[in-house]
Chains A and B, each alone.
Chain A
């Protein structure tokens, strides 16, 4: 177990709806990254949050947004859901030092939230 927890585990939504996914990072970690994993594919980077601000973003539209809270937990919000948004959404936590650098880039993943859009 990594100590990264995600909720809910499963979610079913209809096209056009909005969804919020939640992640609690591992104790001692200050950075959260979100990934989308379609069936049969590797995870794709959505964005990363460090010090409560977005710190890098992948090739995802603005309807994918997020938040990081002072306790380092995070939310992923997706608006105007599309059928192709059906996937496993993974949260990963890591530790970045106060200078904004990391001697290692080890990200620990939660079990994910499986989103189905009908």
Chain B
């Protein structure tokens, strides 16, 4: 079993829809949680960073962490075609390695 599970998709939505992306994990030592966006043939770009449990909002993006359920989410409001990319969840217990999910491919159609 992988430490971090993420549905690979693809997830197809129409423009303007609310998108929900999720990851589950098994390591209770994880305390840093991140979402990265990766366009094709590019490096991951940090979208959201959360320490421990709680919610964080930044523009159209909201990240939620539920450590009791070992479950994290990213919500995208008013999705745009430019949001089409692969979304990677990542987490860590220390400042060393990040453990990534497989990534969910999102397609937003005009």
Contacts of B98 in A (CB 8 A): 33, 35, 43, 45, 92, 105, 107
Docked complex Cα distance between A107 and B42 (Å): 15
Q: Is A86's CB within 8 Å of the partner chain B? A: no
**A105 adjacent to B43 (CB under 8 Å):** no
**B97 adjacent to A114 (CB under 8 Å):** no
**What does the 1/0 interface line of B1-35 toward A look like (CB < 8 Å)?**
00010101000000000000000000000001010
Q: Which of B60-102 contact A (CB under 8 A)?
A: 88, 90, 92, 94-102
Q: How far is the CB of B19 from chain A (nearest CB, A)?
A: 19
Docked complex Cα distance between A104 and B46 (Å): 13
Q: How far is the CB of B10 from chain A (nearest CB, A)?
A: 11
Tell me which of B6, B49, B96, B97 contacts A104 (CB under 8 A).
B49
Interface residues of B (CB under 8 A from A): 4, 6, 8, 32, 34, 36, 41-46, 49, 51, 88, 90, 92, 94-103
